[in-house]
Amino acid sequence: MRKRGRRILAMAALTMAGAMALTACGQKADTTTTKEEKPETSTSGEGGLSGEITIWHYHHTLEHEILVKTIKEYQEINPDVTINETFVSREELMNQYNIGAVSGELPDIGMVDSPDMSAYISLGVYDDITAELEEWGELDNFYEGPLNSCRDGDGNLYGLPTTSNCIALVCNMDMLKEAGFDKAPTTWDEFYQIAKACTNEAEGVYGYAMSAIATEEGTHQFIPWLYSTGETVASLDSEGGRKAMGFLAKLTDEGIMSKETTNWTQHEAFRSFCSGKAAMATVGTWHLAQVDEGEIETDVNMEFAPLPKDKQHSSSLGGENLGVCAGSENREVAIDFLKFVMTKEKNTEWCNAVTSQPVRKDSVELDGVWKEDERFALFTEVMNYAVARGPHPEWPTISEAIYRNEQAALLGDKTADQAIDDAAGIINPILKETPINLD
């Protein structure tokens, strides 16, 4: 059992993480039973369940619409089930989990950002539903990365991923060709050569743009460089960890990457690329939606590719999970609804609606966009090796140690070696007490 002092520190870290998270706006909304659409077959086989459950979420706009639609379809199969879905801003939802872990006042199902789930599992927010999910017989159809984000340190499952995203490289092919290159880089050496050749610092044009901001976004974009060396967060102070930090620091030191990257969110880094100020950038599928829907206007000739590799290709995962909360009085209904949401058909429908990556491998086969659109097809390939951030109950503390020391290295305030040593000095004692689950 974990020490109480460590548990309190974890709660404090989660409160700070929630305060840094982007909040959404909206109103509380309760669903009602309707008969408007023909539902699919219930995951429970025959339906006929009864009871009332509540779902807390921070979905809005398109995500909220598909959630409401799914609830209506489930209630048609199970007319004696009432599902109340309640919008809570992301920041407030994380605070409510902290309160609920102590008071026991939790919903039946709760949404959480995937890297944070392990921390809330350790606080007692979620219930172990491993046996029910294994009996379901569908777990082998999930990508291991997203599924792993729902596990504790012993590999037990407390929920299921609903949507996911991973990151890859986008290239301005006109800039690359002008510099004498006709394809995206595949290795770090090729990447460095191309980025350096495309840099024109006098005109504010850089070879590469990424997010190294002092938030979880910064860690999200650092992780692939670390894992590409064959190392992990558990072996940060290794030759590979030092190489990854040193490589990124070299880019800013030589002016190949702007030091403003330490202030940029992922959105801002992509906007810099779209405005022609960077030859390459790290991006996710949500950026494709921003271009397709006209939120970002650009005439850049884009080509997508895996992030360049040192020893192996790597990527980092984002996305949301739904977990069954501890103390649910209608646990059977909550689990059954979770399975219904995560059928291969529903996962495809959900991800198409919100332009996110399916978390089930068999969902990809149901809709042509994930194979026929070469942009999405690339991200589908990357999902096969993308890793969850963590999972670990003290991930917020681990992540902060990474992004703050990465910033120091990129700004030249620390050497890469010192940044690694300082980050590892925080992380290693945590992992010694509670090893990270990398299975």
pLDDT, tens digit (0-9, with 9 covering 90-100), for 201-217: 889 999 999 999 999 99
Copy the structure tokens of residue 421: 């040593």
Q: In this structure, are residues 334 and 108 in contact, taking their beta carbons and an 8 Å threshold?
A: yes
Q: Is pLDDT above 50 for 26?
A: no
Report the distance separating Cα 162 and Cα 152, nearest Å. 18
Q: Which amino acid is at 134?
A: E
Q: Is pLDDT above 90 for 25?
A: no
Question: For domain 166-316+391-433, which architecture applies?
Answer: 3-Layer(aba) Sandwich (3.40)
Q: In this structure, are residues 63 and 354 in contact, taking their beta carbons and an 8 Å threshold?
A: yes
Copy the structure tokens of residue 156: 């037990």
Q: What is the mean pLDDT of residues 87-106?
A: 93
46 pLDDT band, cuts 50/70/90, is low
Residues whose CB falls within 8 Å of the CB of residue 412, separated by 6 or more in sequence, listed in order: 249, 252, 253
Q: What is the DSSP string of 331-389?
A: HHHHHHHHHHHTSHHHHHHHHHHHT-B-SBHHHHTT-THHHHSHHHHHHHHHTTT-B-S
pLDDT of residue 29: 36
242 pLDDT band, cuts 50/70/90, is very high
Report the distance separating Cα 299 and Cα 278, nearest Å. 14
6 pLDDT band, cuts 50/70/90, is very low
Q: Read off the pLDDT of residues 351-399 as tens digits, 9 standing for 90 and up.
A: 888 888 999 999 988 877 787 888 989 999 999 999 999 889 999 999 9
Q: What is the mean pLDDT of residues 272-297?
A: 93
Q: Read off the pLDDT of residues 109-163 as tens digits, 9 standing for 90 and up.
A: 999 999 999 999 999 999 999 999 999 999 999 999 999 999 998 999 999 999 9
How deeply is 400 buried, as exposed, middle or buried, from its count of CB atoms within 10 A (0-12, 13-18, 19+)?
buried
Q: What is the mean pLDDT of residues 51-75?
A: 94
What are the domain boundaries of the chain? Answer: 51-165+318-387, 166-316+391-433
Q: In this structure, are residues 206 and 278 in contact, taking their beta carbons and an 8 Å threshold?
A: yes
439 pLDDT band, cuts 50/70/90, is low
| Best-predicted range by mean pLDDT (1-5, 39-43, 90-94, 318-322) | 318-322
60 pLDDT band, cuts 50/70/90, is confident
User: What count of other Cβ atoms lies within 10 Å of the Cβ of residue 43?
Assistant: 20
Q: Do domains 51-165+318-387 and 166-316+391-433 have the same CATH topology?
A: yes
How deeply is 267 buried, as exposed, middle or buried, from its count of CB atoms within 10 A (0-12, 13-18, 19+)?
middle
Q: What is the mean pLDDT of residues 274-291?
A: 93
Q: What is the mean pLDDT of residues 297-315?
A: 97
Among residues 392, 386, 414, which one has the least CA distance to residue 234? 392
Q: Which is higher by pLDDT, 89 or 22?
A: 89
Among residues 192, 263, 235, 256, which one has the least CA distance to residue 424? 235
Report the distance separating Cα 304 and Cα 323, nearest Å. 33
Among residues 195, 206, 383, which one has the least CA distance to residue 284? 383
Q: In this structure, are residues 66 and 353 in contact, taking their beta carbons and an 8 Å threshold?
A: yes
Q: Which amino acid is at 179?
A: A
Percent above pLDDT 70 for the chain? 89
Q: Read off the pLDDT of residues 157-201 as tens digits, 9 standing for 90 and up.
A: 999 999 999 999 999 999 999 999 999 999 999 999 999 999 998
Report the distance separating Cα 222 and Cα 387, nearest Å. 12
Q: What is the DSSP string of 141-186?
A: GB-HHHHHTTB-TT--B-EEEEEEEEEEEEEEHHHHHHTT--S---
Q: Which residue has the tokens 């992990």?
A: 232
Among residues 359, 361, 340, which one has the least CA distance to residue 40? 340
Percent above pLDDT 90 for the chain? 78
Residues whose CB falls within 8 Å of the CB of residue 53, separated by 6 or more in sequence, listed in order: 81, 82, 83, 84, 107, 108, 109, 328, 330, 333, 334, 337
The CATH code for residues 51-165+318-387 is 3.40.190.10
Report the distance separating Cα 278 and Cα 295, nearest Å. 19
